[in-house]
Amino acid sequence: MKLNRNFSLLLSGQSFANIGDVLYTVSVISTIFALTGSATAASFVPFTITSSMFVSSLLTPLLIGIVNLKWLMAGSQIGKTILLVILGFMLMGITASNYYLVFIIIGLIAFFDGCANPIRQTLIPHYVKPVHLVQANGLAETVTQIIQAVMWFVGSLFLIILSSHQLIWLVGCLFVLSSVMFCFLENISHQTLPRKGKLDQIKEGWKTISNTPVLRRIAWIDFFETIAGTVWIAAILYVFVSDALHVDEKWWGFINGAFFLGLILGSIYCIKYASFIEKKLGTFILVGSFASFLVTILFSINSVPINALLLSLCVGIFGQLKNIPQQTVIQTSVSKEQLSTVYTSLGAIGTGMFGVGSLIMGILTDLLGVKMVFLISGLLLAIVSTIAYKYKQLFVRNVIRQ
């Protein structure tokens, strides 16, 4: 696939934004922990981010149709940049008595992020030919996962040579570059139907999902899969390494790294064999979901560290072999005009259930033990596999709408 100018700008701009997001999160967590000495206070950083993104996903449809999607994407990044500058000055004078103000700023930054994420996914089919969607989605996922895998480590190294607020200024430069790239995107025509009121605008994506059989099943898949995926958060995986594998904390990094490597390998496979995957979207969604269920069950009963690495790698590979074809199904299941509100609604499901699921799985880990929690995760993925098998015929490209 030859990258066109708009997709290259979108991918590059999002990459700079993603790098900045990781670095500023590392900086804020470090600052909060240094001020309070409390892991609980530091853990509220990702909780605040997830909660704000959930609210944003619910409210973003109010802007769709009023603001051009290209400028909605650029504007959200410009808003993040302005807030980050405010955060940079704030960190220079923050103390243990007023550190809570940081949470207000990061909540607002996450609010803009919750707007940008579904818009980015919506713009891809506008800028990429239908025949190249699998490759484009695969490439976007590959770049994103490489950034996630590398930048958490790099961010920690940056804190050795830079202070937290200095790291924020570096992130500010990345955000400015991202904003400029989004501004140079081509405007797209995005016609919308007349709206009756704000509540109808918010409900539009949910109605589209409800009225589209394949999206209705994907929403249920996202519901169960998101809850199942919360067992891989740092807090629970750390307990698994300690209690189930009986090894030191460095193995948490190894297992986490194997998972991200699996995501990258799965994405690369989808890019290389895109034309083959295009013809069998439903098969890949089914195989990926069933294999993820099976591997997670095996992970839950495993006590051998090396096996845990291999199984974590497989979870990442099979997850991507399912997720990338699923993105293509979503992008071709409704008209492009409906796609933005569909993504905001699916995003609300993802962020909302991740927050709730993390809390539930944390409680169950204390009550039932960490191995049982991973077993529960596997059983939830079995439900996903059942949905994928029962409705496999729905998971196809809808070429009529392209």
363 pLDDT band, cuts 50/70/90, is confident
Nearest to 26 by CA among 46, 40, 12, 41: 46
Label residues 366-394 b or e (16+ Cβ within 10 Å = b): eeeebbebbbbbbebbbbbbebbeebeeb
Q: Which CATH superfamily is domain 199-402 in?
A: MFS general substrate transporter like domains (1.20.1250.20)
pLDDT at 228 over 90: yes
Tell me the two tokens of residue 255. 């297992």
For 282-324, strand residue ranges (E) read none
Hey, CA dihedral for 295, 222, 115, 84, is it positive or negative?
A: negative
Question: How far apart, in Å, are the Cα atoms of 319 and each of 248, 325, 333, 335, 356?
Answer: 27, 11, 21, 26, 21
Q: What's the mean pLDDT in 368-375?
A: 93
Over the stretch 298-357, which tens digit does the pLDDT of each residue have? Answer: 999 999 999 999 999 999 999 999 999 999 999 989 888 888 889 989 988 988 888 888
Q: Do domains 1-183 and 199-402 have the same CATH topology?
A: yes
- Mean pLDDT of the residues in the chain: 87
65: left (phi over 0), alpha (psi -120 to 50) or beta: left
268 pLDDT band, cuts 50/70/90, is very high
Question: How far apart, in Å, are the Cα atoms of 73 and each of 5, 96, 108, 204, 353?
Answer: 16, 35, 16, 20, 24
Q: How many whole angstroms from its chain centre is CA 179?
A: 20
CB 142 within 8 A of CB 36: no
Q: What's the mean pLDDT in 94-119?
A: 87
pLDDT at 192 over 60: no
Hey, CA dihedral for 115, 139, 175, 72, is it positive or negative?
A: negative
Radius of gyration of the chain (CA): 21
Nearest to 145 by CA among 25, 18, 264, 268: 264
Could you tell me the residue ranges of all domains in the chain?
1-183, 199-402
Say which residues have a Cβ less than 8 Å from residue 269's Cβ, sequence separation at least 6.
317, 320, 321
Residue 32 φ/ψ, nearest 5 degrees: -60, -45
Q: In what helix (H) or strand (E) does residue 104 lie, and over which residues does it extend?
A: helix 100-127
pLDDT of residue 76: 93
pLDDT of residue 154: 79
43 pLDDT band, cuts 50/70/90, is low
Task: Please give the CATH topology (third level) of the domain spanning 1-183.
Answer: Growth Hormone; Chain: A; (1.20.1250)
pLDDT at 393 over 80: yes
